[in-house]
Amino acid sequence: MAKAFPLLPDRSLKRWRTDDTFLLNTPKPTFPKYHVIHSQNENKTVRAISPFLVSKTLTEAIGPGYKVTKMGSGDLLLEVRDKAQYEKLSKLVAFGETPVSVGPHRSMNTVCGVVSDDDLTELSESELLEGWQDQNVVKVQRITIRRNNKLTPTKHVIITFGTSDLPESIETSYCKLRVRPYIPNPRRCFKCQRFGHGSQSCRGRATCAKCASIQHISDNCTSETTHCSNCEGDHAAYSRSCPAKKKEKKTVELKVKFNLTFQEARQRFAIHNPSYPSFAD
C-alpha cells in the first residue's frame, strides 16, 4: 500500500522534511511564459497589422493554445502554453512583410514572494540565495526596519523566483516554509508625484509633494497648507490616507495576484469599482 503523506496545516509556516516529501517538492523545469512581439518597422507597430494575419502566423509557427494581449506601446504580449511553444518562438520572424522581434517580458517572467521564519534571521542574503538556487530562486532581499536610527534585519525575506507562478512553499534544508505573495508599495514619482513610474523616466512637470505647486520642488516648500496633486485632497501626495494612493495599492494587488500588466490591472479595478473616483494616472 502506498504511503500517505500528512497535509500541511494552514497555520504552520514550516515542518520537518523527509526524503519522500523532498522528492514530491522537486522543482519543475521552468521557461519564460510571457514574451513581447515588437515590430522592426519603425513606421508600423504590431497592433497595426491585421489580427487575422497575426493569429494565422502565430498558429503556424507555434501551434494553438497561446494568448495574445495588446500593449499600450503598440507591441503584443504573447503568453505561450508550454515549453514546446516557447522553443518554437525562433520560427516567428515576421507577420507578412513586416519583420518582428520576440523577447521575454522584462518583469512578468519572475514573481516575488515572502517567507518568514526566526531561523532565517542570522543568515545573510548570499547564504540564502546559494541555499535556494536549486529551487529557481534568482534574488533574495531581507526586509529591514529602522530602530533607534539604525537598520535592523527582520525574519521576513523577499524571494524572487525565475518563473511566473509563485510556489506554495520553499525547502530550507529540513524545513519547508510557506511562501506568501509579495505586494510592493505603490511606486510614486518624486518629480511629478504621479504613480506608476520613477523620476528617471518621468516626462511630467516637477511638482511639490506637499502643496502641489509647480513653482518649486518639495525640498524648498514653505507652505503651511497641504494639497495633493493626485486627488486634489487637503493632504500631501505621500499621505497614506490619499484615495489615489489607496486605488494604486489595490491596482498593484490585482497585478500581483493575477499576474497582469498595469494597464490590465487598472482596467479590472475600474470594472469592479465603477463608483470609485477616477484620478489622473
Q: What burial class does residue 72 get, using C-beta atoms within 10 Å of its C-beta: 0-12 exposed, 13-18 middle, 19+ buried?
A: exposed
- Separation CA 269–CA 116 (nearest Å): 30
Q: Given the C-alpha cell 511553444, which residue does it identify?
A: 85
- Separation CA 229–CA 193 (nearest Å): 7
> For the chain, what percent of residues have pLDDT higher than 70?
89
User: Domains in the chain, please, with CATH?
Assistant: 19-29+109-181 (3.30.70.330), 34-104 (3.30.70.330), 199-272 (no CATH)
Q: Among 2-16, 17-31, 206-220, 267-281, name the one with the lowest average pLDDT.
A: 2-16
Render pLDDT for 171-207 as a digit per residue (tens, 0 to 9): 988 889 999 999 999 999 999 999 988 898 899 999 9
> Rg (Cα) of the chain, in Å, rounded?
23
- Bridge partners, residue 98, by sequence: 95
- Separation CA 112–CA 139 (nearest Å): 9
DSSP codes, the chain: -PPPPPPPPTT-S--B--HHHHHHTPPPP----EEEEEES-TT--GGGS-HHHHHHHHHHHH-S--EEEE-TTS-EEEE-SSHHHHHTGGG--EETTEEEEEEE-TTTT-EEEEEE-GGGTTS-HHHHHHHHGGGTEEEEEEEEEEETTEEEEEEEEEEEESSSS--SEEEETTEEEE-EE--PPPPB-TTT--BSS-GGG--S----TTT--SSS-GGG---SS---TTT--SS-TT-TT-HHHHHHHHHHHHHHHHT--HHHHHHHHHHH-TTSPP---
Residue 24 has pLDDT above 80, yes or no: no
pLDDT of res. 281: 53
Residue 10 has pLDDT above 90, yes or no: no
pLDDT of res. 8: 39
Average pLDDT, the chain: 87
pLDDT of res. 258: 87
Q: What burial class does residue 247 get, using C-beta atoms within 10 Å of its C-beta: 0-12 exposed, 13-18 middle, 19+ buried?
A: buried
Residue 1 has pLDDT above 90, yes or no: no
- Phi and psi at 80, nearest 5°, equal -85, 155
| Comparison of pLDDT for 276 and 131, the residue scoring more | 131
Residue 7 has pLDDT above 60, yes or no: no
Render pLDDT for 204-250 as a digit per residue (tens, 0 to 9): 999 999 999 999 988 899 999 999 999 999 999 999 999 999 999 99
Confidence of residue 16 (pLDDT cuts 50, 70, 90): very low
Grid cell in block for residue 53: 494575419
Render pLDDT for 112-155 as a digit per residue (tens, 0 to 9): 999 999 999 999 999 999 999 999 999 999 999 988 889 899 99
